[in-house]
Structure 1
Amino acid sequence: MDELKEIRWKQRFENFNKSYTLLDKYSKKEDLSELEQAGIIQFFEMTFELAWKVLKDYLESEGYIVKSPRETIKQAFQIGLINDGHIWMEALTVRNLTTYTYDENLVKKLISDIINIYFPELKLLHERLEKDL
């Protein structure tokens, strides 16, 4: 492993860990206010962004060359770093749409999907990378 690249993914993991911890904390809360719902969506955006970037840095430290979020997700899935590439691709699409959350029903669906579908995948990644630290 290139030492600088190894240090980079570990530093990025620290930021991912902070964001992940906040998403974990608030996603367990029930009867969310509008502000708390907006917060979960924002924490998801941040956490997902840091997740794919830490994946990219990790893959590069292992000698892979990836340039985009899609390439990163595909390669991470191919080597078994993430379990469900389809969910990750869906999460990428959702992350790109979260700025358009004006509809109350859409917000409720987003919150449900974040908590029940995307967060478990982020949790698995967090646990795997934490072991590699």
Structure 2
Amino acid sequence: MKKFEQFKSAYESIVRNNKIGDFSEVYVSAITSDFDRLFELAWKTMKEYMYKNLGMQAAKTGSPKEILSLAHNQGIIKDGAVWLEMLQNRNDDAHIYRLSVAVIYKSKIEEVYLGYMKELIDYFKDVIPDEQIQAAKVSEDLLEESKIKGVPLWELAVKEAKKQDVSVDYIVEHWKKP
């Protein structure tokens, strides 16, 4: 399941890059943003697993709150209240304008939430087979062309994709100099 592989990768990145107890503005901003993305991957992994692997129709279109409730009822997550708190914190994070509030959120991520994420990963490791995510490739020719022309990479990729009637992903990975 690609979603699970992305979830594991995002978790490992946070754990690897976080400096525990560093509450400088840069780390607080980076870790809280990364955690918000991790939370998204967590609930969407639960959603996909319950729909595709357990055949739960209610998981197909459920909101994060509904998915967390279903996951708790299925025994996928143990403490539904903490997961709902994570959801609330994730939602509130977009509106945090004071460093002092963000510091508390980062502290909670380090001391509580990452442990719950690890529990979820461990649960899924037992029920979802490993899949290797292909590392993203970017055409060296495309990068060079972007620099030479002074055109942003995304703009050049979109233009080339339209010209060749292929996906932007294909251009980013396979574009060659004419």
- Bin the TM-score by the shorter chain: 0.7 to 0.9
Q: Is the 8 A contact 2:19 2:27 kept in 1?
A: no
> Percent of counterpart pairs with the same letter?
31
Q: Which residue is equivalent to 1:93?
A: 88
CA-CA distance at 1:28 after TM superposition: 4.9
C-alpha change, 1:98 and 1:12, in structure 2 (3 Å) is same
The structure where helix makes up a greater share of residues is 1
Q: CA deviation digits over 1:8-43, x for unaligned, max 9? A: xx1111111111111222345333432111110011
For the pair shown, the structure with the greater C-alpha radius of gyration is 2
- Candidates 50, 55, 65, aligned match of 2:46: 55
Matched, 1:30 2:25: no
Q: Whole-Å Cα distance in 2 between the matches of residues 26 and 79 of structure 1?
A: 32
- Point out the more displaced range, 107-116 or 48-57: 107-116
SS in 2 for 1:100: coil
Normalized against structure 2, the TM-score is what?
0.66
- Candidates 105, 108, 113, aligned match of 2:103: 108
Q: Whole-Å Cα distance in 1 between the matches of residues 77 and 19 of structure 2?
A: 23
Structure-to-structure mapping, 1:1-133, within 5 angstroms: 10-61=1-52, 62-64=54-56, 65-66=58-59, 67-132=62-127, 133=129
Greater relative contact order (Cα < 8 A, sep 6+): 1
Runs (4+) of structure 1 moved beyond 6 Å?
none
What RMSD in Å do the two structures reach over aligned CA positions? 1.3
Normalized against structure 1, the TM-score is what?
0.87
